[in-house]
């Protein structure tokens, strides 16, 4: 596996000199304990790295908001296992009934999964984090164009196909800027007031009628 290769190359040994490292496994209890300890490490200020797999529990269902997730690195493109009988049947159905080509669906599905993985670190308007796509295939238009607009708007030409040194320069600059005090006036311009939230979510009483009269839920 990749983890074993990194261990043999000494990558994990170098990484653990700076951060604690936790790994998602197939065991639910082990992964839950790893997540708990990961959060404790972040709360203590030590910081940590959590290694997980795309289409797994952590990458799909766990939020890494605030200081629990300031950077996510996506290695590879998370394509589905194409020899699955269920997937083959789905691809055949899409081709027959909707003329959707196999490769188009697989690309769309993989990029949707990739955006879901990296999106774990952005959970509110005041949150921020780095998203690094560590695979040259994301430079290709047929791949990159399938990412959502909220990611594409930041993928300018100057941020594509970077060397490690150039990427580190961008990372340092971004974190230095985000570490500055927040402009409260600018922040209030993007946040909703309590009155605006209440207008968007009216109370149940406003959508009901008197007992016995009948009515419809709004």
Q: What is the DSSP string of 89-128?
A: HHHHHHHHHH---HHHHHHHHHHHHHHHHHGGG--STT--
Contacts for 143 with CB less than 8 Å, ≥ 6 apart:
77, 107, 111, 137
Query: Encoding tokens for residue 49?
Result: 């790295």
User: Considering the entire predicted model, what is its pTM?
Assistant: 0.81
Instruction: Quickly count: other Cβ atoms within 10 Å of residue 26's Cβ.
Output: 9
Q: Tens place of pLDDT for every residue, the chain, 218 residues?
A: 788 999 999 999 999 999 999 999 999 999 999 999 999 999 999 999 999 999 988 987 788 999 999 999 999 999 998 889 999 999 999 999 999 999 999 999 999 999 999 999 998 888 999 999 999 999 998 889 999 999 999 998 899 999 999 999 999 999 999 988 877 777 777 777 888 888 887 766 555 444 444 343 33
- Residue 204's pLDDT is 63
């Amino acid at each position: 596996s990749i983890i074993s290769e990194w261990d043999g190359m000494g990558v994990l040994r170098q990484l653990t000199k700076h951060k604690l490292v936790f790994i998602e496994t197939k065991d639910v209890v082990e992964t839950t304990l790893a997540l708990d300890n990961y959060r404790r490490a972040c709360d203590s200020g030590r910081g940590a790295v959590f290694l997980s797999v795309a289409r797994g529990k952590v990458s799909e269902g766990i939020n890494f908001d605030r200081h629990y997730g300031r950077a996510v690195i996506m290695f590879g493109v998370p394509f589905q296992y194409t020899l699955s009988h269920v997937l083959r049947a789905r691809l055949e159905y899409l081709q027959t009934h909707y003329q959707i080509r196999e490769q188009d669906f697989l690309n769309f599905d993989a990029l949707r999964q990739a955006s879901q993985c990296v999106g774990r670190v952005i959970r509110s308007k005041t949150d921020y984090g780095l998203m690094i796509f560590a695979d040259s295939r994301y430079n290709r238009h047929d791949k990159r164009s399938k990412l959502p607009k909220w990611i594409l708007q930041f993928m300018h030409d100057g941020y594509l196909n970077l060397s490690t040194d150039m990427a580190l320069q961008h990372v340092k600059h971004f974190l230095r800027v985000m570490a500055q005090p927040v402009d409260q006036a600018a922040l209030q311009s993007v946040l909703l007031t309590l009155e605006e939230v209440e207008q968007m979510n009216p109370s149940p009483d406003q959508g009901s009628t008197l007992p016995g009269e009948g009515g419809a839920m709004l």
